[in-house]
Every structure is written in structure tokens, then in C-alpha cells.
A and B are shown apart, each in its own frame.
Chain A
């Protein structure tokens, strides 16, 4: 059985994330860094929700294609897009933002990429959806919503700006 989440559920998850970040980092300067693709869109929405807070808030975008660990297994290397980190990374309190947290490999790559821009004071992780099944010792600090999934299930996230609509589809897969 395939499950879906609608735009309201996604909006609620983003608000949950924003509220948690606000509560734990109140008054402190933070920089949200969204991981392409879709992590950037989640980061932008969080930025809008947190914009009126009385603090410094920065927004950046990170493309982690060049830091992946699976080039050997790809027939085609992933298409690169520009990263945009418009603030000094040294000493910054950075919150990495992604749409789905699964194996943790993307976050491993993002931490490597980020360290080539400088030495952040602190790095945290915010994810819209945590679907479990980690392959790396990486855990989120802020979670929009948790999904119970099987290892082989596929979680497809669509977001308004990137894909034209807000929707999450969980496609169930069992062992062949």
C-alpha cells in the first residue's frame, strides 16, 4: 500500500521544524544551509518563518555532488549546480537542512563540503522527514516528522518551487 502526505502535512512539518529551531536557538545568530535539491527549498521556507525573529539569520545553498562516495557505482556523474554560501563559515552556527534523512551519506558529504568553506563554530541538522535506516553515525537535531518505513521503500518528496506541488509519496517495496 502506498501512502501519501499532502501540502497541509508538509506545512505542519515545516512549522514544527521552525518552532523547534526558534526554541533552541532563540536570539542567537544562525545560518541555514539547504542541501540541493529540495533541502534548499525547505531552508528557504524555514528562513521565511524565522525572518521576523530578533536575531541574525543567514541562508545558504550547498551542492554536495562532488563529495558523494558512490561515483564508482554511477553510470553518470550527478549534474552539478552552484553552491552559494554568502556568509563567512568560520565560527558560524550552521543548521544543515535537508528534505529526507535516510542513510546519512548525504549529510556526511555535506559536512565535508562545508568544511572546505571554513571551520564552523557549530553544525546542527534539521530534516523535514526522518525515515530511518541510517548507515552512518548521524542523527538529526530537529525533525519535522518521522516516518516508519522499510529499508527498500522509496520516499518521494515534491515541493512547490522545485516540483510544482507539495506532496510526499511513500512507495512500498519488499524484497524481490
Chain B
């Protein structure tokens, strides 16, 4: 049965995750046609409610919704009354009056999309809330891995970077564990949470982490705009300790490991320029798959009927 909202991965059954990943395959197949658009959500409206800046996730959802023939409206935050102190409830009531069918929410506060979901008949998709969750990122990561490893059980994924503040690390490791992969974290001690899931190995040293023999190295973005810079001495130092340097890329290439990154990339920090030309870098696959997965999500969710009880 479809759900009304997609708020996090933890709340999904394994069968639901499998269903969404399966459904993304025929959606991706549409991209090879000359007409990439299908009429499934014709006449439906999708509203993008982004309280935090995001180019990639925002445009990915927008393309996904448009390829399903939905009408997309951007609730442009800096110019809207949100800055005038309009409460979230007032905003949602406005959207309700506009008969929006789907609301895509990004917000700095964990749990806010869930609060909005309770206020509206529209389907709410969490596009990232604080350090809590980013479920469509997790789905696109899992889909990208399954394209390379159709049976990913037991494959090892090393997630590198600021685990502590990362909703990507949280959501992606949750989905990968659900699918039977092994996950480990690598990062500065101050950025790898001590209290987290039990069965996730923690490394602070690059060489020790590589000795664990990962199949995929997943680099998190260093969030320059946040305060992480204080957690390690400098960006140059970060690159030296945890980044994929030219030398490390050589070793990664020799072992045939795959590299992933949620984007946008900070070249010279998480990875060196040469990574972008490495044939097992899946960053562009992640972008394309993100659209297919988000189409599958929008097609699966069912808003409550207009006039139905709230």
C-alpha cells in the first residue's frame, strides 16, 4: 500500500524500499526516449518549500515532477513571508488553500517535514531536515550501488567525513544496513559519533579504514558554510588526512573500488581533480539516478483526497 508521506528511511519497511528501488528502473528507462515526459501526474501540483539553499536536490525534484507532467511551483523562501515571521502553520494553510498535492520540504530543523505532514492532506517529501534525514538521497545512493552490485548483500561501504552533522550519512547508512550491506565510518574523532548504531565500525585513520577492504568509498561533503571547519585544523589538513589524494586514488583504482559523493564536490578537499575522470566514480550516476528515484517516490505516494477528513 502506498503512503501519504516520505519522511525518513527508518520508517519504511524493507518491502517498501525494495519496491521503490525496483520502480526507479522503468523510470530511468524513460530517459533514453526522445520524449522523457509521461502524463502520470498530469494536473497535479508540486510545491517546493525550501527553507535552506539547495541547487541539486531542488532541481532534481523539479525535473522529476516535470517529467511526471506535474505543475511545479517554487515557494521562494527569501522573498516570501517566511522571513516576515509567518508561522509554518500559516504557510501550510496557505498551501492547502492552493490545493497543492505534493510538498517537497527542506528545513534546517529536524522533524519539521513531519510536523507539516500532519497539518496537510498533501503528500510531504522530506528533502533534508537538519541532521535528521534525507530519504531520497538514501534511495538514490542505494539504487546507484544496486546498479553495480545487483545483490549487494555483504558489500562494504566506507562513509568518510563529518558523520556527526550529516543527514546523508544517517539516511544512507540506514538504507544500506536495511539492504544487508556493511557500513563503516571514517572521520576526525570529533565528527564521528560515539553513540550510534552498534554494528557500524568506526575509524579515524585512513589506512586502517582501507584495511577493512571496502567495495565503495562514499565521501561526504565538507560543509564550508557550517561550523565544521572548527572540528579540524584546516581544509588542507582534512584533504591530507581523509581526502582522496592523487596517491590514494592510485590505490583505489588498483583495487577497482567505486567512489561516491552526494555533491556538490569541494575539489581539493574531499577529493582531488583526477577523481572526476576516474571510471569508477559514480557521482554523475547519482545525479541521474536521483531523478528516477524521485519520480518513483512521487508516483508511489498518494495524497489524501480533496474534501477528505484532515
Which of A1-9, A15-23, A70-78, A127-135 contacts the other chain? A70-78
B238 at the interface (CB under 8 A from A): no
B274 at the interface (CB under 8 A from A): no
* B25 x A76 contact (CB < 8 A): no
Kindly list chain B residues whose C-beta atoms are within 8 Å of the C-beta of A79.
19, 23
* B33 x A117 contact (CB < 8 A): yes
Q: Is the interface of A mostly helix, strand, loop or mixed?
A: loop
Tell me the complex Cα distance, A62–B144, Å: 25
Tell me the complex Cα distance, A90–B302, Å: 36
Kindly list chain A residues whose C-beta atoms are within 8 Å of the C-beta of B240.
none
* B1 x A63 contact (CB < 8 A): no
Kindly list chain A residues whose C-beta atoms are within 8 Å of the C-beta of B2.
75-77
Contact with A along B295-310 (1 / 0, CB 8 A): 0000110100000000
> Which of B26, B34, B299, B300 is within 8 Å of A63, CB to CB?
B26
Contact with A along B36-47 (1 / 0, CB 8 A): 011111000000
* Tally of chain B residues near chain A (CB < 8 A): 20
Chain A stretch 98-130: residues in CB contact (< 8 A) with chain B: 112, 116-118
Given contacts A67-B39, A112-B39, A117-B33, contact A82 B25 (CB under 8 A): yes
- A-B pair count, CB < 8 Å, reads 45
Kindly list chain A residues whose C-beta atoms are within 8 Å of the C-beta of B208.
none
* B26 x A82 contact (CB < 8 A): yes
B35 at the interface (CB under 8 A from A): yes
A-binding residues in B (CB < 8 A): 1-2, 19, 23, 25-27, 29, 33-35, 37-41, 68, 299-300, 302
* B40 x A82 contact (CB < 8 A): no
Known: A63-B26, A66-B68, A77-B299; 15 extra A-B contacts, CB below 8 A, are A66-B40, A67-B38, A67-B40, A71-B40, A75-B302, A77-B40, A77-B300, A79-B19, A79-B23, A80-B27, A82-B25, A116-B33, A116-B35, A116-B37, A117-B33
> Which of B26, B34, B35, B41 is within 8 Å of A83, CB to CB?
B26
B-binding residues in A (CB < 8 A): 63, 65-67, 71, 75-77, 79-83, 112, 116-118
Can you give 25 contacting A-B residue pairs, CB < 8 Å? A63-B26, A65-B40, A66-B68, A67-B40, A71-B41, A75-B1, A75-B2, A76-B1, A76-B2, A76-B302, A77-B2, A77-B40, A77-B299, A80-B23, A80-B26, A82-B25, A82-B26, A83-B26, A83-B29, A116-B33, A116-B37, A116-B38, A117-B33, A117-B34, A118-B34
Kindly list chain B residues whose C-beta atoms are within 8 Å of the C-beta of A66.
38-40, 68, 299
Tell me the complex Cα distance, A92–B25, Å: 27
Nearest to A77 among chain B residues (CB) is: B299
Q: Is the interface of B mostly helix, strand, loop or mixed?
A: loop
Kindly list chain A residues whose C-beta atoms are within 8 Å of the C-beta of B41.
71
Kindly list chain B residues whose C-beta atoms are within 8 Å of the C-beta of A83.
26, 29
Nearest to B296 among chain A residues (CB) is: A80
Tell me the complex Cα distance, A117–B23, Å: 20
B284 to chain A, nearest CB (A): 22
Nearest to B35 among chain A residues (CB) is: A116
> Which of B29, B35, B37, B39 is within 8 Å of A82, CB to CB?
B29
Nearest to B1 among chain A residues (CB) is: A76
Kindly list chain A residues whose C-beta atoms are within 8 Å of the C-beta of B33.
116-117
A132 to chain B, nearest CB (A): 27
Tell me the complex Cα distance, A29–B26, Å: 28
Tell me the complex Cα distance, A53–B19, Å: 41
